[in-house]
Amino acid sequence: MSAGTERAVTWADVNKDVERTVSMPGNTYFAWMCVVALTLAAGVVAWTFQIYTGMGAAGKRTPQMWAMYITTFVFWIGIGHAGTLISAVLYLFRAKWRTSIYRGAEAMTVFAVMTAGLFPLIHAGRMWFAYWLTPYPNQRYLWPNFKSPLVWDVFAISTYLTISVVFFIVGLVPDVAALRDRSTGIKRKIFAVIAMGWEGSDTQWKHYRRGYGLLAALATPLVLSVHSVVSFDFAMALVPGWHSTLFAPFFVDGAIFSGFAMVLVLILPMRYYFNWYPYITDKHLDAMAKLTLVTSLVLTYFYACEVFTAWYSGDHFERASVFAKATKQYAWAYWTMYFCNSVVPLILFWKKARTNVVILYIVSILVLIGMWFERFNIIVPGLGHDFYPYTWGTYVPTITDSTIIVGSFAWFFILFLGFIRVMPSLSIVEVKEVLPHPLKHAVHGAHQGGGH
Amino acid sequence: MSGIDRRSFFRIVAASGAATAAAGCGQTAEKLYPYVSPPENIVPGVAAHFATVCRECPVGCGVVAKNRDGRVVKLEGNPDHPVNAGALCIAGHSALQGVYHPDRFRGAMVDGKFAPWESAEKIVADKLGALVKARQGGRIAVVTGLETGTVAKLMDEWVKALGARPRIAYEPLALEAMRAANRATFGRDAIAHYAIEEASYLVSFGADFLETWLSPVGHAAAFAKMHALSAGKAGTFVHVEPRLSMTAANADRWVRNAPGTEAPLALAMLKVIVDEGLVAPGVDARALAGAVQGVDVAAVATQSGVPAETIKGVAHDLAASKSGLVLGGGAAVSGGNATDMLQAINLLNVAIGALGKRMRFGGDVARPSSYADMVALTQAMAKGEIEVLILGDVNPVYTMPPKAGFYEALAKVPMVVSLANRPSETTGKAHVILPALHWLESWGDHVAEAGVVGLMQPAMGPVEIAGKPVDGRSLGGIFLNLARLALGLTAEPGKGLFQTPTFADVVKAEWGAMAKDYGKGKPVAEFWEESLRRGGVWREAPGPAVSVRPEGLRVKAEAARLEGDGTHALLVYPSSRFYDGRFADRAWLQEAPDTMTQIAWDGWAELPTETAKRLGVGRGDLVTLVSPHGRVDLPAYPVDSLHPAAVAVAMGQGHAYPGTYAQSRGFNTGANPVTLLGPGPEAASGALPYLAVKVAVAKGTGRRSLAIPQATFDQDHREIAQHIGLGAARELELRGKPPEHASHPSMYPPVKYPDHRWGMTVDLDRCTGCQACVVACVTENNVPVVGREQVAYGRDQHWLRLERWEEGTPARPRNIFLPMFCQHCGVAPCEPVCPVYAAYHTREGLNGQVYNRCVGTRYCGNNCPYHVRRFNWFYYDWPSPLDLQLNPDVTVRQLGVMEKCTMCLQRIIEGKDRARDAGRKIKDGDIRTACQQTCPTQAITFGDLKDDGAQASKLSRSPRSYHVLEELGTRPAVTYLKKVTRDEGNPAGGGHKA
Amino acid sequence: MAAAASVLGIFAHVDTTLQAIRDLRAKGYGDLTVYTPVPVEEIEEEIEHIRPHSKVRLFTVIGGVTGAATGFFLTIWSSLKWDLITGGKASVSIPPFVIIGFELTILFGGLATVLAVLLLGRLPKLRPSPTYDPRFTLDRFGVAVACPPDRAQAVSALLSAAGAEEVRR
């Protein structure tokens, strides 16, 4: 019973407040869209150029045969996790405060995974054969190597994308139905299609609720498995600093951490522009900030573990690798990571900071930067100083790969910005659910708030 | 000779039949491929092998050219040849980039424009004829490289017939001083044969015998025999040089002396030997005593910076070894006193009884003229005494010091004719260019040393460029025709030399005459056929015994005088890759890094660290070297090992004309150190003293970072290149117990190999770092050239790289050379990570890579702890006609796929096929990889590890064996044998070969 | 008996709706359809007396099991079909295959669940049911009763009594 205490919000208000967002946007919006679209175009051009000239266009080399693409791939996959966590895990825990943010978070998940999914393609030396990683019947009886972590990725990520999309759409149906009933013309027709003739009859609700719960139950282990599998790309390899049993939990935690930062980065402006203060209150921000803080602390613990095990193992390669990361050519990236991920979030111990929009926003941005560098530090310096001194080397980014990376952010935002103006980015049903149910006789007050 | 040699002997076909016979006189118009009706010995798809002689450097190693469908795709040493016994150096391999050079002249040229051969020829012939008629033959001059045998004879006859000036055989590295010294000491104008393999204690005064000195390939083989541990015996090698050359790096003890102090040092050692009565029995000690009267060991010690104990110690061990040998006189240490130095060394060899045993004189053979002759000619040209100057494949404009004035003098010659087949600084000044065919396209013969006559046959027709064969003639053919035209003769068999129809006939006639001498009464035809198959004839040709002449005992003990008031002595040394610079336009050699510095594609100035510190320059910062005669700007390469009073620059870079191919890939850097030298020859020998000037070193402006693929020479305690003391090694060998290899438990059952498990061993004790294997691999496996920028950025495509690992102290550095290539791991980290099975394990233990299946995730590249996998970052091209060299048995990899060493899979298949055709099981030695085949020291062995009898599996059980990064449990199929180091403080390391 | 008539009562409050449903059940009207803007626990409990439990989970289980089976079959069969050794591992090595099995369990399970929601919830619904009113997605509750025409009068009376702000026939 958290939301809607500031001003008495009725169920009808909820519908109105959401309907407002699904209408012809103003110029600022289009201005932003142009910027994003141009950036995306630049990225596309860069990718085309890379396909034409070869992977040499990106700064990869021996020993860094992987670099910023895989870094950003892991980054985006990580972002996705917070969405699923909020929509599925917190749903199972019946955490009421999730209701007003989960739709945005879920959209973020879907689009983040869609962005991440581009990178294996961008990264492949012969992307036109990337489909060979999927098991499809062919007359030559060629199959992928199911022992390869990359094939695990294919399965994990495609499953994750499918389930997220399904979960997302299922959640949308009743809300779209609500929009349908209050719109006219072409808009109504489109909504009608998506709403699939939803009426909110008891039978529909019954199966819907059951199904939704089961999906949440499935999505929860899935979200944990996906980033574990992504971490196997590294943990299964021999490279010092990669070959570690720590990686699965380490990656999952990092993912949630960065995900929450991204949610804040997206939700705060939405709250401002859509005037959703009644729905997204300080309590929400506080809760999110707390989770960010916790995940940050856990992450710091993992960082410590990483260094400790390297030292304690007594393994020369591991020690040299860590030492090189901290002191050699990439030291700046290493310490940036520590500052952004372990130091900055500590400010959230301070209650005022947890509800101060400006501070929260800055922290979130820094966390995103820090988390990108975390993956960078695993991959680039890790490979740059591995077993064989002859080939130690420094990776230098090129205009091409940098442009593609920036383009991937544009791709994400074009999807997200598009979504929030055509679909209910606030869950009408679930917000209503946690509002006081309309009652004639106050004696039933005990029953307020459907979900417990 | 092992089985393989005999087999290859039979596979070598004699050139007869349309293709090559026609090619001989260069008149062929037929296409090289495809064959509509193949000539008898060229079966499409089946390689034909032609034995001939490598004419890249003056040595003349025997080679076997592998001809596939009418074009030579690979060169290998001729296993039967006494000089190189099957091995070949990097330059030899790169001859293919000479014959297929994109810049080759398509035909004759007049004043820079293409002209029909006949008209161009006529212009020259008319001029010659006119001069002959006018009794002005003396105004004709001929300069060629070192030519011997029939063509030399022909040219000298030609010179006589036209009354021209005696022909100059110009070789920039002619080692004139050695002959001068031998004249002085023994009265022999010849170069001795040094039987290194018979020595147990070898001392070299700056003789880079593993790089360019005399016959490097042969020497390397001999050195391995003498030095590598076998049957408990290992000889010792001491090298005296101010700079840590590759040869020095192979020494058990490197003595760093002040530049130019070799002569005093040699005499000091001689004095020690004489004074302490260590002179070998039967040698006139008193005479020698006379020679060293004035010598004061202590003074020499201070002068040379070599401690007296060292001088004494080495002298002792040398004399005590009973089978010592002393070498000397590499270009880098040949100053104005080179002859004295070499005389002193001669006396040392006399004193230890090496003369007549390990230092032998054979019969006289043709030798290059001296640099002084070139200077004389230059003066004559300058005076306008030369009307026609005919230049063979020589490049004096580049190789002579500018102050010698050859370039200016050229302008004074009305007609300069060049017979070179590709552009150089010198051809740029030629009025007429009559391109001689490449030696792979020509008939001829070459006398490598007394009694060793190699027979050259065309291994292919003139190369086709843009569908048209280049229009050229063999060197002999050109002179033959010019003589006819000039003297108004016609071609009629049996009417004297110049009327012999083709040069091929001249050679045949010549060999017909040799038949009774060499052929032991065999019929001429049979002798000819057999010689063609064998690649020539060889026999022992002992020369007359020599003794020390009284005047030979008068040796000056002075150090070399250096001109100029600079701070550092300039060490100009021949490049082990570019020799005197003639190979610099070959991308293969540019891309193969210099072994010691690992620098590719560039020239550099080696600086002592202290100097670099003082000037505040780091690696790659430009420094300026100024001598009295010129200045050069070069990137600095500071090293601890170099003598503090010296800077070193290799010959060969800094061409004005590097060739378009190399240029397009980042070449045309570096500078030519010869421009810093003075023009004056050494009085005693007429040689150009390369150790002659002092230079001032200053910080230049800007920097040019060097392309160095090896990130560090420090192993960081990772025991990649391992070594073991001689004592310990010997003990282990006696016990014969193989070392325990770490066991790595696995949850999976061990992999079974039904038929074979191919594997290799690399004996680090034998590897000298010559890089021949690297280029052999490039040639065999169609490895692309990626260029300077890409090499600098860690994108070189070499499947096999030669690493240098540094240990010890600057004073006593220890260098280990380690050839690294795919280890074909039994538990390969690269395989399971591949999502599409492009990397997988074959049933024969190879680490297979399926190019067509590769998607390019590069995961394998990350996961390979040795980083031997190479990714195709770009499209790599082979500018025409270099594409003709591609090995048809090996796929050319496309963009975006991973590639790596396959252990020459195509050779494995060929070997198995041949065994099957012969209806027998495959034998050890049937299959030899390209790197193994070319290794002069036989450091690399390939074989079936399942066959206990196989040499490779024997070696892999050696007590010295280990695997690189063994603790990772990758179980490589490649086993390395530790380098054997001589125990500290005891340079002799005990035990000599008897 | 003539064609069934249907009576719709529209309510503004949860408790009145609940009341109506209770009364109807007491009177033995079993054929109800209740429309709500959001799922309401109390109403669901009430309805459960006259409706069977949802079968969605059955679909989920079947889907999940199929997924697991598919995963292991695909991996094992294809590695037997294409028997290549990589990194010294047996060509059929179960541990890595578990991951594929797991992912496919989730995938098939999830898709089966959605399928169930659609099938059992009779979605998509091509034309709205006669008793549906757009307000049901805003803030109104609806109780539609199917009854013999002669009883319609009684039902509407009952609904209004329970507190329906509007009753339709």
Contacts (Cβ under 8 Å, ≥6 apart) of A335: A326
Chains with at least 3 CB pairs less than 8 angstroms from chain B: A, C
Question: Helix, strand or coil for residue C30?
Answer: coil
Give the pLDDT confidence of C23-75 residue by residue, as tens digits. 998 988 888 899 999 999 889 888 888 888 889 999 999 999 999 999 999 99
Residues of B in contact with C99 (CB under 8 A): none
Tokens 């591991």 appear where?
A: A318
Residues of A in contact with C33 (CB under 8 A): 201-203
pLDDT band with cut points at 50, 70 and 90 for residue C3: low
Instruction: Find the CB nearest C93 among B748, B827, B840.
Output: B748
Check residue A103 and report its DSSP letter.
H
Q: What is the pLDDT of residue A407?
A: 97
- Determine the average pLDDT of the residues in B59-69: 92
pLDDT at A312 over 70: yes
Give the pLDDT confidence of A117-127 residue by residue, as tens digits. 999 999 999 99
- Determine the average pLDDT of the residues in A35-48: 97
Is the backbone of residue B983 left (phi > 0), alpha (psi -120 to 50) or beta? beta
Nearest residue to B169 via CA among B477, B391, B329? B391
Give the pLDDT confidence of B421-471 residue by residue, as tens digits. 999 999 989 999 999 999 999 999 999 988 899 999 999 989 988 888 899
pLDDT at B985 over 80: no
Q: What is the pLDDT of residue B983?
A: 65
- Determine the average pLDDT of the residues in B616-621: 95
User: What integer best gives the mean pLDDT of chain B?
Assistant: 90
Instruction: Find the CB nearest C14 among A173, A222, A438.
Output: A438
Q: What is the pLDDT of residue B522?
A: 86
Q: What is the DSSP string of B490-512?
A: ---TTS-GGGSSSHHHHHHHHHH
pLDDT band with cut points at 50, 70 and 90 for residue B341: very high
- Determine the average pLDDT of the residues in B563-585: 93
Contacts (Cβ under 8 Å, ≥6 apart) of A394: A329, A384
Q: From the CA of C36, how many Å to the nearest CA of chain B?
A: 51
Q: What is the pLDDT of residue A112?
A: 97
pLDDT band with cut points at 50, 70 and 90 for residue C88: confident
Element (H, E) at B254: strand B253-255
pLDDT band with cut points at 50, 70 and 90 for residue B25: very low
Q: What is the DSSP string of A160-215?
A: HHHHHHHHHHHHHHHHHHHHHHT--HHHHHHHHHHHTT---BHHHHHHHHHHHHHH
Give the pairing type, strands B870-871 and B847-849: unpaired
Check residue B796 and report its DSSP letter.
-
Nearest residue to B262 via CA among B301, B298, B304? B304
Measured between CB atoms, does A34 come within 8 Å of chain B?
no
Give the pLDDT confidence of B469-479 residue by residue, as tens digits. 899 999 999 99
Report which residue type is found at B262: E
pLDDT at A376 over 70: yes
Give the pLDDT confidence of A397-439 residue by residue, as tens digits. 999 999 999 999 999 999 999 999 999 999 999 999 988 888 8
Q: From the CA of B573, how many Å to the nearest CA of chain A?
A: 27
Counting beta carbons within 10 angstroms of the beta carbon of residue A257, is it exposed (0 to 12), middle (13 to 18) or buried (19 or more)? Answer: buried
* Interface contact flag, B834 C86, Cβ < 8 Å: yes
Element (H, E) at A12: helix A11-21
pLDDT at B7 over 50: no
Report which residue type is found at C145: V
Q: What is the pLDDT of residue B986?
A: 46
Q: What is the pLDDT of residue A3?
A: 42
- Determine the average pLDDT of the residues in B58-84: 93
Contacts (Cβ under 8 Å, ≥6 apart) of A380: A64, A67, A68, A71, A330, A333, A395
CA torsion sign, B839 to B841 to B843 to B844?
Answer: positive
Give the pLDDT confidence of B258-314 residue by residue, as tens digits. 999 999 999 999 999 999 999 999 899 999 999 999 899 999 999 999 999 999 999
Whether the CB-CB separation of B873 and A55 falls below 8 Å is answered with yes
Q: What is the pLDDT of residue B42?
A: 62
- Determine the average pLDDT of the residues in B72-89: 94
Q: What is the pLDDT of residue B741?
A: 67
Nearest residue to B533 via CA among B148, B54, B8? B8
- Which stretches does DSSP call E strand in B383-433? 388-391, 415-418, 432-433
* Interface contact flag, C88 B750, Cβ < 8 Å: yes
Q: What is the DSSP string of A287-341?
A: HHHHHHHHHHHHHHHHHHHHHHHHHHH--HHHHHHHHHHHHSTTHHHHHHHHIII
Q: From the CA of A130, how many Å to the nearest CA of chain B?
A: 6
Q: What is the pLDDT of residue B665?
A: 72
Residues of A in contact with C89 (CB under 8 A): 147
Give the pLDDT confidence of B766-792 residue by residue, as tens digits. 999 999 999 999 999 999 999 999 999
A 143-162 residues inside an 8 A Cβ radius of C: 143-147, 151-152, 155-156, 158-159, 162
pLDDT at A2 over 50: no
Residues of B in contact with C88 (CB under 8 A): 746, 748, 750-751, 826-828, 841, 971
| Percentage above 90 pLDDT, chain A | 85
Q: What is the pLDDT of residue B575?
A: 94
pLDDT at B156 over 90: yes
Counting beta carbons within 10 angstroms of the beta carbon of residue A341, is it exposed (0 to 12), middle (13 to 18) or buried (19 or more)? Answer: buried
Q: What is the pLDDT of residue B734?
A: 82
pLDDT at B14 over 60: no
Nearest residue to B438 via CA among B56, B109, B61? B56
Residue of B nearest to A52 (CA): B874
Name the least confident of A299-313, A336-350, A394-408, B727-741: B727-741
Measured between CB atoms, does B844 come within 8 Å of chain C?
no
For residues B912 and C48, which has the higher predicted lDDT (pLDDT)?
B912
pLDDT at B989 over 80: no
Give the pLDDT confidence of B707-743 residue by residue, as tens digits. 999 999 999 999 999 999 999 998 888 887 666 666 7
CA torsion sign, B424 to B430 to B436 to B439?
Answer: negative
Can you tell me the distance from the alpha carbon of B507 to that of B515, in angstroms, rounded to the nearest whole number?
A: 12
Residue B219 in tokens: 């020497």
pLDDT band with cut points at 50, 70 and 90 for residue B6: very low
Apex B855 CA angle, A254 and A238, nearest 5 = 50
Residue B80 in tokens: 């039967």
Give the pLDDT confidence of B171-222 residue by residue, as tens digits. 999 989 999 999 999 999 999 999 999 999 999 999 999 999 999 999 999 9
Measured between CB atoms, does C86 come within 8 Å of chain B?
yes
Contacts (Cβ under 8 Å, ≥6 apart) of B238: B201, B202, B203, B204, B251, B252, B253, B254, B255, B314, B317, B318, B987
pLDDT at A4 over 70: no
Measured between CB atoms, does B749 come within 8 Å of chain C?
yes
* Interface contact flag, B711 A150, Cβ < 8 Å: no
Q: What is the pLDDT of residue B124?
A: 96
Check residue A86 and report its DSSP letter.
I
- Which stretches does DSSP call E strand in B752-863? 758-763, 801-808, 813-820, 839-841, 847-849
pLDDT band with cut points at 50, 70 and 90 for residue B499: very high
Neighbours of B765 (CB within 10 A): 24
CA distance readout (Å), B405 to A317, B377, B427, B625: 59, 11, 16, 21
Residues of A in contact with C75 (CB under 8 A): 146
Can you tell me the distance from the alpha carbon of B678 to that of B685, in angstroms, rounded to the nearest whole number?
A: 16
Q: What is the pLDDT of residue A441?
A: 78
Q: What is the pLDDT of residue B41?
A: 60
For residues A295 and A97, which has the higher predicted lDDT (pLDDT)?
A295
Whether the CB-CB separation of B165 and B138 falls below 8 Å is answered with yes
Can you tell me the distance from the alpha carbon of C122 to that of B380, in angstroms, rounded to the nearest whole number?
A: 109
Check residue B770 and report its DSSP letter.
-
Q: What is the pLDDT of residue B30?
A: 38
* Interface contact flag, C87 B750, Cβ < 8 Å: no
Can you tell me the distance from the alpha carbon of B375 to that of B689, in angstroms, rounded to the nearest whole number?
A: 13
Residues of C in contact with A199 (CB under 8 A): 35, 125, 128-129, 132, 136
Q: What is the pLDDT of residue B744?
A: 76
Q: From the CA of A130, how many Å to the nearest CA of chain C?
A: 19
For residues B35 and C163, which has the higher predicted lDDT (pLDDT)?
C163
Alpha-carbon A254 to chain mean position? 11
pLDDT band with cut points at 50, 70 and 90 for residue B982: confident
Nearest residue to C46 via CA among C24, C69, C74? C24
Can you tell me the distance from the alpha carbon of C144 to that of C32, in angstroms, rounded to the nearest whole number?
A: 6
Measured between CB atoms, does A145 come within 8 Å of chain B?
yes
Q: What is the DSSP string of B464-481?
A: EETTEE---B-HHHHHHH
Question: Helix, strand or coil for residue C20?
Answer: helix
Is the backbone of residue B112 left (phi > 0), alpha (psi -120 to 50) or beta? left
- Determine the average pLDDT of the residues in A380-404: 95
Report which residue type is found at A244: S
Give the pLDDT confidence of C90-115 residue by residue, as tens digits. 889 999 999 999 999 999 999 999 99
Contacts (Cβ under 8 Å, ≥6 apart) of B533: B9, B12, B13, B14, B51
- Determine the average pLDDT of the residues in B593-619: 95
pLDDT band with cut points at 50, 70 and 90 for residue A1: very low
Q: From the CA of B748, how many Å to the nearest CA of chain C?
A: 6
Q: What is the pLDDT of residue C53?
A: 82
Can you tell me the distance from the alpha carbon of B454 to that of B81, in angstroms, rounded to the nearest whole number?
A: 8
CA torsion sign, A319 to A321 to A325 to A329?
Answer: positive
- Determine the average pLDDT of the residues in B961-977: 94
A 107-136 residues inside an 8 A Cβ radius of C: 135
Q: What is the pLDDT of residue B20?
A: 42
- Determine the average pLDDT of the residues in C144-165: 90
* Interface contact flag, A199 C136, Cβ < 8 Å: yes
| Upper half-sphere CA count for residue B234 (Cβ side, 13 Å) | 27
